[in-house]
Amino acid sequence: MADSSDPVVVLSERTLFETSAVGIAITDGDRRFLECNQTLATMLGYDSPDELVGISGVDLTYPADTAEIAAAIDALRRAPSGEDQLDRRYRRKDGAPIALRLRAAPIPGTGMFFSFFEDVTAQKQAELDALRRAQLLDRAQEIAQMGAYVINLERETILISAQFARLLRAGDEEFELPLAEYRERFYLPERRELATAQWQERYAAGEERVEVGGQLVRADGERIWVRSVEARTELGDETLMLGITRDVTAQHLAEEQRRELEDRLRQSQKLDALGQLAGGVAHDFNNLLTVIAGATTLALLDIPDGETREHLEEAVHAAERASELTRKLLVFARRQPVEQKTLDLNEVVTDARRLLERLIEPAIEISVELTGEPLPVVGDIGQLEQVLLNLALNARDAMPRGGRLTIRTRREAEREQGVISVEDTGVGMAPGVVERIFEPFFTTKAPDKGTGLGLATVFGIVDAAGGDIDVATEVGVGTCFTVRWPLGADDAVEATKNGAGRATGGVDGGGLRALLVDDDEHVRRTLARVLRAAGCGEVVALGSGAEALAHIANDAAFDVLVTDLIMPAMNGIDFAAAIRARSPSLPILFVSGSSENARLAASQPNAEFLAKPVTIEAIAAALSRLVPR
């Protein structure tokens, strides 16, 4: 205590020492307690201050803090006139921790120190809790890919939180920068001016809460999608916007994928509906073409050369073109019968080249680059030729002033696919056009130049065959379509020539007797005439399967049955089965304007299928195969 002869002063100092709410001790140079008050003893869990006498304060500290306290004591020894303050953990008598704030001052000329101890355990715990909450919030922001920021509207600055800085890949610590610089660094260049104007408009309008979304550019240049919420607040004389920004890139991409899948589903449903419509239209149209083409062809048999004959020939050619259109509709609707074979893709291209050279103008150079080995693929020869022809003609139309058309083949062994690429040096396509090129009836050509079915047909054929098609294009440079087709076995290649191995002779005019069944009266009459022109001596034409079964019960002496496939009450397959039950060996020629059940019909024993409209030559050839003479 202080050296004083005045007993009042001494008493006052002793009273203050004993009753102080702060722990007080007198320590020597090694911080051993020489004297302490009851407050300090109570803080440290001792019953009496005498229990602390002789104990060093260093001995009561936690081991982790001992070195720092020892260093502070050494500093005081070197500068004994100074004052020291430390916040450290001590061990109570029972071993429990307590946080004390120590302030020590030397007693001049004595080598001793006055030490004052304040219990700051609650304060330290509050600070620790606050730190933990901050760390947890920071971790939560990191997990949620979220960052906070504060915009000072008066100073036009923005304070970026540590997590927002990490989100922007701009470091791991919070930082502040001018708002203009922030926009310059992290806004999209093409959106910077507009986004800034929109923000200023919202600020000027005094909106209390704003929710916005868009893209930011990270410090490394990567673009991310974000969603931000800002709220206006007043702090003193400053107006602030407190904001939270969340990285929603994954959600944005997922939403884009969902929309894309929905668009594909809608497109698929649309294509399916159009396909059903196309199939129905093609059936009815083919029946009409059968009458038109059949009647015209029959008329030509008796018309000599001259203007009238030329008119009729034009009508036949128009019917042939219309038939080709319906065939495309059926392919698009995936209702065209196909005959799968293993074909050499190189031979298909070689054969098609001769046709292309007649169809494509001399101003366009045709180049064919084939792989040096056989390229077996599984498919229908007609469909493969259709794909190649449609792509080549599409390329031709893209080069109105001439250019180069290159057709290449190659093998992709790892994907077990044969590849055809058709490349042109034409006008190319814009992105908006590329997105729609496989849509049916979509065309950029003049109304009299395209139907919009060419590429839709290609897509339908390739997709149905289990292949895929890609397109690469650049406006002013050209376009390349790449078709991948399933590979077949190398030793299974069949002839690619149409009609290979089939008889081509006509029917001896010596009187085949044919039973014709078709529910359309006009088609029935025309087909009866075509059958007679093809060599049938007698044709019995009836309008339904039931009527034909009733007739054959009394008159079964027919050489061949010619029947439609799509008929009310009893279709052609069921009717043929009923006929075969009575006449098992009767040859059957199925003729239909629809390809529904066409494959099943063609697979019947001693039977063939012809698609309407039919020609006299096709009927004659089919009859000669079914009923050799």
Give dist(CA 406, CA 424) in Å, integer. Answer: 6
Structure tokens at 338: 């196909």
Give dist(CA 355, CA 341) in Å, integer. Answer: 22
The number of angstroms, rounded, from the C-alpha of 402 to the middle of its chain's C-alpha atoms is 37
Structure tokens at 348: 């298909």
Q: Are 411 and 487 in contact (CB under 8 A)?
A: yes
Residue 208 CB-half CA count within 13 A:
1
- What's the mean pLDDT in 80-109? 79
Domain boundaries along the sequence of the chain: 7-119, 138-247, 260-331, 341-486, 512-626
The number of angstroms, rounded, from the C-alpha of 3 to the middle of its chain's C-alpha atoms is 90
Pick the CATH number of 260-331 from 1.20.58, 1.25.40, 1.10.10, 1.10.287: 1.10.287
Q: Where are the alpha helices (DSSP H) in 1-83?
A: 7-19, 38-43, 63-78
Looking at CATH, the fold of the domain delimited by 138-247 is given as Beta-Lactamase (3.30.450)
**pLDDT for the residue numbered 329:** 63
Model pLDDT for residues 453-485, shown as the tens digit of each residue: 678 888 888 888 888 999 999 998 999 999 998
DSSP-assigned beta bridge partners for residue 234: 239
Indicate yes or no: pTM above 0.75: no
Answer yes or no: is pLDDT of 113 > 90: no
Give the single-character DSSP code of 583: -
**pLDDT for the residue numbered 138:** 59
Give dist(CA 149, CA 144) in Å, integer. Answer: 15
Q: Helix, strand, coil proportions of the chain in percent (round to 5)?
A: 45, 25, 30
Answer yes or no: is pLDDT of 304 > 50: yes
The C-alpha torsion from 306 through 310 and 316 to 318, rounded to 10°, is -170
The C-alpha torsion from 208 through 213 and 215 to 217, rounded to 10°, is 30
Task: Determine phi and psi for 344, rounding to 5 degrees.
Answer: -85, 115
Give dist(CA 629, CA 620) in Å, integer. Answer: 12
DSSP 456-500: HHHHHHHHHTT-EEEEEEETTTEEEEEEEEEB--TT-----STTT
Q: Where would I find the beta strands (DSSP E) of 362-477?
A: 364-369, 376-379, 403-412, 417-424, 468-474
- What's the mean pLDDT in 86-96? 84
Q: How confident is the model at residue 439 (pLDDT cuts 50, 70, 90)?
A: confident
Cα–Cα nearest to 581, from 549, 554, 547, 603: 549
**pLDDT for the residue numbered 463:** 87
Give dist(CA 398, CA 381) in Å, integer. Answer: 26
CA geometry: angle at 483 spanning 481 and 487, to 5°? 160
Cα–Cα nearest to 463, from 479, 484, 442: 484
Strand pairing class (376-379; 364-369): unpaired
Q: Are 593 and 611 in contact (CB under 8 A)?
A: yes
CATH placement of domain 512-626: 3.40.50.2300
Query: Does the fold of domain 138-247 match that of domain 7-119?
Result: yes
Looking at per-residue pLDDT, the higher value among 576 and 269 belongs to 576
Return the CATH class of domain 7-119. alpha beta
Q: Are 407 and 420 in contact (CB under 8 A)?
A: yes
- What's the mean pLDDT in 602-607? 80
DSSP-assigned beta bridge partners for residue 404: 365
Answer yes or no: is pLDDT of 178 > 90: yes
Cα–Cα nearest to 361, from 407, 321, 399: 399
Q: Decide: residue 619, CB within 10 A, 0-12 exposed, 13-18 middle, 19+ buried.
A: buried
Answer positive or negative: Cα dihedral of 250, 253, 257, 259: positive
**Could you say which architecture CATH assigns to the domain 341-486?**
2-Layer Sandwich (3.30)
Determine which helix (DSSP H) or strand (DSSP E) holds 227, and give its type and residue range.
strand 223-235
Task: Determine phi and psi for 88, rounding to 5 degrees.
Answer: -140, 160
Strand pairing class (112-119; 223-235): unpaired
Model pLDDT for residues 557-584, shown as the tens digit of each residue: 899 999 988 888 888 889 988 988 888 8
Q: How confident is the model at residue 541 (pLDDT cuts 50, 70, 90)?
A: very high
Give dist(CA 142, CA 167) in Å, integer. Answer: 8
Residue type for position 406: T
Q: Are 425 and 403 in contact (CB under 8 A)?
A: yes
Give dist(CA 299, CA 290) in Å, integer. Answer: 14
Strand pairing class (238-247; 175-178): unpaired
Answer positive or negative: Cα dihedral of 446, 451, 452, 457: negative
Model pLDDT for residues 492-533, shown as the tens digit of each residue: 565 443 333 333 333 444 478 999 999 989 889 989 988 988
**pLDDT for the residue numbered 516:** 94
**pLDDT for the residue numbered 5:** 53
- What's the mean pLDDT in 235-253? 85
- Angle, helices 381-397/345-359, rounded to nearest 10 degrees: 40
CA geometry: angle at 379 spanning 472 and 615, to 5°? 110
Give the single-character DSSP code of 81: T
**pLDDT for the residue numbered 505:** 37
Place of tokens 């839709």: 456
Model pLDDT for residues 17-44, shown as the tens digit of each residue: 888 888 999 888 778 899 999 999 999 9
Q: How confident is the model at residue 332 (pLDDT cuts 50, 70, 90)?
A: low
What is the percent of the chain with per-residue pLDDT over 70, rounded to a whole number?
Answer: 81
Residues belonging to the chain: 629
Strand pairing class (512-517; 560-563): parallel
Give dist(CA 33, CA 48) in Å, integer. Answer: 13
Give the single-character DSSP code of 57: G
Model pLDDT for residues 186-230, shown as the tens digit of each residue: 999 888 888 888 877 877 777 788 888 889 999 999 999 999 888
- What's the mean pLDDT in 235-243? 81
The number of angstroms, rounded, from the C-alpha of 83 to the middle of its chain's C-alpha atoms is 71
Q: Are 273 and 593 in contact (CB under 8 A)?
A: no
